[in-house]
Chain A
Amino acid sequence: ETGVTQSPTHLIKTRGQQVTLRCSSQSGHNTVSWYQQALGQGPQFIFQYYREEENGRGNFPPRFSGLQFPNYSSELNVNALELDDSALYLCASSLDKVSLYGYTFGSGTRLTVV
């Protein structure tokens, strides 16, 4: 089984609300990345954190923000939710910041915005 756990598994929010999604990475994995996967699409890179600092960001607006903690956990925060934010949000961890050998994904949080 995956060493990356995400919570909650499912969530329903109303447009305009704020949401926090959580991820617990594998022990020793200093890098965590977050991805958004809309229905019928491949996952899209949101951002990456390495040792508690953001060190890479995809094409997502500032209302998508994150935090990484020393205990290998992390959060994805989304403010002012829009209907198009409905998606599967995936957290992935890796040993180092360039991660040439792939990532381990959590099972995701399915967010529905109504």
Chain B
Amino acid sequence: RKEVEQDPGPFNVPEGATVAFNCTYSNSASQSFFWYRQDCRKEPKLLMSVYSSGNEDGRFTAQLNRASQYISLLIRDSKLSDSATYLCVVNSLKNTGTASKLTFGTGTRLQVTL
């Protein structure tokens, strides 16, 4: 089983639609959680951190459910410029707590169309 699992998509949605991405992770000791956005042939860029209380940034809402080990991202009123790959990312500490690593899902591709 992969450490971080996402639906690879692609999700093709019309402008203005609401789209939801889901992600599950297997390491219950994971410490922090993120959504990154990656445009074609570019580096990943941090979109938002994800907290159990849920957090919102404009049209984007992220939610973490630690009990279910489940992370979500909701995009409302999709824009053409939202077309990208969305990567679910989990930060886990080493046993000694002296280092961490990011584990990425394979990403979900979103294509917003006119």
Contacts and interface: CB of A to CB of B under 8 A. Distances in A.
Interface of B is mostly: strand
Interface in B19-42: 31-32, 34, 41-42
Contacts of B49: 101-102
B5 to A, nearest CB: 11
Contacts of A98: 31, 93, 97-100
Interface string A23-55: 000000000010100001111110010100001
A105 interface: yes
How large, as a class, is the contact surface on chain B?
20 to 34
Contact of B101 (A48, A101, A104, A105): A48
Given A42-B105, A42-B106, A43-B104, A107 B98 contact: no
Given A42-B104, A42-B106, A101-B49, A56 B99 contact: yes
B51 to A, nearest CB: 12
B102 A92 contact: yes
A101 B104 CA distance: 15
A58 B101 contact: yes
Interface string B68-102: 00000000000000000001000101100111111
Interface of A: 2, 33, 35, 40-45, 48, 50, 55-56, 58, 88, 90, 92, 97-108, 110
Interface of B: 4, 31-32, 34, 41-46, 49, 87, 91, 93-94, 97-107
15 contacts: A35-B102, A41-B106, A42-B87, A42-B105, A45-B101, A45-B102, A48-B99, A56-B94, A56-B99, A98-B31, A98-B99, A102-B49, A102-B91, A105-B44, A105-B45
